[in-house]
Structure 1
């Protein structure tokens, strides 16, 4: 395996740096980088359209390392190619505050296009990138100027393909005809616990992929640069199908005692084995030592700059020819909303009965006329979620300018693809399903929150008010679980006005995702409700100076609290302050919370059709759901669980009496 040509020497350098990084950190995954180095460098040197000086260039190729534990391979390649990484960055691999974390993280490392690590997510992200490319090309390219025209490359492993999100995403990609999407499978027969056959038996992966509608190619020798190059060249010849390339590699290639075994998957080789591997590669340099002459050969600045400047000239000609489109695109890329959003008004009157999912539909379609970047879809529930952009058609081959995406019943892929759509730039995606099924999408939602990706989630059918469908479809713990995700804004509007405010907040947010939690059933438009105050998290709905009790409520339970307050006032003269809390975490952190909640001399009660988890820091008592729901007409289910105005009033009355008894005992 001795390396002689400059290309082979660069491949050896990438291998050496990868194992050096793992050894220095005393943790990591050397095996995949050792096996994939020829593929990665051939792709980078001969095919990948990027510019190290402009790593966020709009029309660059997107590169996704879905097999994120092989991050040392990516960092070593970026370094050799001339991206803004130095040897010290590689030495700090997997260390606190380094730009070379254990798995690639979007926003941390130049050249990293998305956060990967949870297996399968990168495949979905890649589908999102490729779909965004097709949709933007349909919107902005002209016959004379194709300003959006790039490939998306995804490198995955066996574990990626074993995750359900992978097959979901493969199906969507084929349905969409994403001919510029190229997925490369590192087929090395080994995973963490042992041979891949232990997990996959005799499964024919290529037949499975072909069955979804992909074109498939095979690289028999993952060490042969010319064979790799030929396959990648063929993959770039778009025939209307995404391309899946199987590349046969040896995990830990060059390691005389561990290559081809799980021993090299996720642990350092050890100094002796590293030395033997480097000898096999013909690499004679000290750890982290790369000859300057080799770095000069590997550097991709010149070719990258030429690609970028050619595109910039094309873009300038397009901009001169299409000034209105250019102004629109540049606004979107700056994450700015059109000025018309500030004047958006929907005419709802107090007492109107509107399900918040229906209000969301009205808002969405108003916004869609103003913000062309707003696109999205549902997991086969658009008619129930009410998330169709009217008159905009379904996205697909020859219809990429449409705005409605039919994901099928694939919540996880839907959310992962949305991450890629948003990260690409130029589009603002929303996705939708029933709230209870958000659990299927949770892995991708978490990545969106971690990466600061501004996806909008529309989750409808938000409580036991689903009724007859029963407890399998009645979320109880789901809102609390979503609120537990850092940087995910969870908004549960009380009525149509708050729904407008929730959408405006979500669309204006650029540093993370937002979940809108919406009702199936009609809710009254409440006197005192406000679209403008949603962004503070919580506000006083009823103007009561000297209350006897404070009710904190969200969503459908705000109108329930209003009903209960009427019973309390009429029957016992009890004055109730009602605080609508569309976003609990924002309210908790707000300056208004302490003032509205008082100094502890009167009881504070939370009212929400979900578990009480998280309300303990705000309220003294709770009207909540601590069991699963039940099947039956929604009104009867509500009565069964104590969620009617009268029953809430009775519960609050009892809590006030208990509170008074405690006060008397203290005296």
Structure 2
């Protein structure tokens, strides 16, 4: 697509001024970075990026990731001009309540936005997983038909590059040789505090060369240099690309160019007037889009539509010529699940004593056989987390056909990578490590929840009972720290059958992340009443063992390894005359979403409610009530075998029963 240079200039100015006008109208935002990056973004969107605004989720579209999410008006201006369903009125309501132009891009709100970005470093790091997902689909199908050929283009800021998560993810990207990943680094030497050189002096290009990236250096305002660099990056077939682009923030603003003031506040009416006069742009109307610029982007959109139609023909030919492969492709792009998934996983559940990490690992093998979209790995802990998919091979440079991903000791990057795989829209991904290291992953988990991603995070060694490694590895507050993130489901199963329910929930829940908390120590297979319906486990909490006489006077609610403890305490309490119900709570979030009638049938009013969980107790107060009892642990653990810890910290039936009796006496 050849474009007259005069029209190029006009289109770039349109992008710049739409961004400036929107920030000014909102009296909030970041105008300088969109002004600086409009040249680069224009070249990406009009010469390389394949998209069809009439089909925003076309599987083989290229992706554009604005990791510098504070420059969101740059992206919204492009999306509007490209013809996506983002009317000009939405730009005029930038950062306003219920608009589709929030302060930072959000994937579930704005058509054309491929990824929720905002916390710096998350965008470029998540893009690594997205690019890997595309390569993994290519390895599975492109020998039969070129159905997965997309590239990931993006722009990162100084802040993105400074954040530690991007270092982990970029190292992994270079190791894997993700040649479909092309990022510009906006090297403008400006941060909120002033010059970036106040705190940042490393040679970013050399660092990325050490990671194994193809690095180029350009003037980010010189269109010839931008085009040449993009062409070379697209042609590079063995490495990801970083194009270090020197730019001037708020370029063309007479008084605020190259200043930190242009980073996070509107230019102001006077400066906007001076800027528009300097570039020959009409002062009125605001939000002005020349017809010839609209026509340019419409022509590009039409090219994208034709590319999608050609891809549709390729898929149809694959389905007709190789129905088995075509069906598998459809299964993966829809992330199809078998209707009898729960029943099959229950059959696979070991009904024996075992650590839930091992029991869940056995079930995972059956899940992987039933769900080809299931992929994942660990942060160098597969022998401990038991998450390796047997016989499925590893994802490696030059061979992306495996299902196991070795993240190395990079928990931050693993969280973002899993999110990227979910955004690739063909995989149900998981990452695994110890629960205590969820601290490293919490920002990515929060982004998964905010983005409503179908992602799974598996955390083992879920309590002080992991034992000898001691308090540095023993999670105390972590279950509740994760439960408190909106739209996160935390499942802590108590035996093999509950592990089957946990995997079923994780695979079927597609509007947010599911987390599993699994034990290192062995747990008994729980006895269940005659006629027990396993489906009740999917309701988040259920009556595991009831009082022979109703109503119960005491309800012991427990999760994971403490459920068997509750059953033993029930025997002691009943021996002294109490009527005791034991409720297993594998997933509190699911239970709280049930209808009131079910919740009250499990936790009837009038009974003493007791929570038992080897972790912080305060949040349980909302469940047990002011007159209830919380049994847990509100301090750090200690280094010792698990049975010694149980006695020392009071997680034994006799102590639990006595605490209940004392509560009733008080």
State the TM-score bracket (shorter-chain normalisation): over 0.9
Structure 1 residue matching 2:583: 3-state secondary structure:
strand
Structure 1 residue matching 2:56: 3-state secondary structure:
coil
Deviations 1:17-56 (A, max 9, x none): 0000000000000011000000000111111111122211
Is 1:218 equivalent to 2:223 in the alignment?
A: no
| Contact 1:348/1:525 (<8 A) preserved | no
- Quote how far apart the aligned CAs of 1:656 are: 2.1
- Quote how far apart the aligned CAs of 1:343 are: 3.7
Structure 1 pair 613–327 and aligned structure 2 pair: CA distance change class (3 A): farther
- Select which of 581, 590, 600 maps to 1:594: 600
- Select which of 561, 565, 568 maps to 2:573: 568
Is 1:653 equivalent to 2:657 in the alignment?
A: no
Please give the alpha-carbon distance, in whole angstroms, between the structure 1 residues aligned to 2:271 and 2:69. 24
- Select which of 605, 610, 613 maps to 1:608: 613
Is 1:500 equivalent to 2:500 in the alignment?
A: yes
- Select which of 222, 237, 240 maps to 1:239: 237
Structure 1 residue matching 2:55: 3-state secondary structure:
coil
- Quote how far apart the aligned CAs of 1:340 are: 5.0
Is 1:105 equivalent to 2:106 in the alignment?
A: yes
| Residue of structure 2 equivalent to 1:625 | 633
Structure 2 residue matching 1:476: 3-state secondary structure:
coil
Structure 2 residue matching 1:551: 3-state secondary structure:
strand
Structure 1 pair 198–349 and aligned structure 2 pair: CA distance change class (3 A): closer
Is 1:66 equivalent to 2:67 in the alignment?
A: yes
Is there any run of 5+ residues in structure 1 with no aligned partner, and where?
659-667
Please give the alpha-carbon distance, in whole angstroms, between the structure 1 residues aligned to 2:375 and 2:309. 30
| Contact 2:250/2:257 (<8 A) preserved | yes
| Residue of structure 1 equivalent to 2:248 | 250
Deviation larger for 321-330 or 14-23: 321-330
Structure 1 residue matching 2:657: 3-state secondary structure:
helix
Deviations 1:594-643 (A, max 9, x none): 2222222x311110001113211221111111111111111111111110
| Residue of structure 2 equivalent to 1:555 | 560
TM-score (structure 2 length as normaliser): 0.95
Please give the alpha-carbon distance, in whole angstroms, between the structure 2 residues aligned to 1:562 and 1:402. 43
- Quote how far apart the aligned CAs of 1:279 are: 1.9
- Quote how far apart the aligned CAs of 1:349 are: 7.2
| Contact 1:19/1:268 (<8 A) preserved | yes
Please give the alpha-carbon distance, in whole angstroms, between the structure 1 residues aligned to 2:600 and 2:23. 50
Within-5 A mapping of 1:195-594:
195-200=195-200, 202-219=201-218, 221-286=219-284, 287-299=286-298, 300-339=300-339, 341-344=341-344, 345-346=346-347, 352-528=352-528, 531-544=534-547, 545-570=550-575, 572-590=576-594, 591=596, 592-594=598-600
- Quote how far apart the aligned CAs of 1:332 are: 3.2
Please give the alpha-carbon distance, in whole angstroms, between the structure 2 residues aligned to 1:612 and 1:640. 17
Structure 1 pair 263–292 and aligned structure 2 pair: CA distance change class (3 A): same
| Contact 2:349/2:362 (<8 A) preserved | no
- Quote how far apart the aligned CAs of 1:294 are: 2.5
Please give the alpha-carbon distance, in whole angstroms, between the structure 2 residues aligned to 1:399 and 1:339. 32
- Quote how far apart the aligned CAs of 1:307 are: 1.4
Deviations 1:289-326 (A, max 9, x none): 22223311232222111211221222221221221222
- Quote how far apart the aligned CAs of 1:550 are: 1.0
Please give the alpha-carbon distance, in whole angstroms, between the structure 2 residues aligned to 1:129 and 1:261. 34
| Residue of structure 2 equivalent to 1:662 | none
Please give the alpha-carbon distance, in whole angstroms, between the structure 1 residues aligned to 2:463 and 2:175. 33
Structure 1 residue matching 2:256: 3-state secondary structure:
coil
| Contact 1:168/1:410 (<8 A) preserved | yes
Please give the alpha-carbon distance, in whole angstroms, between the structure 2 residues aligned to 1:416 and 1:607. 33
Structure 1 residue matching 2:450: 3-state secondary structure:
helix
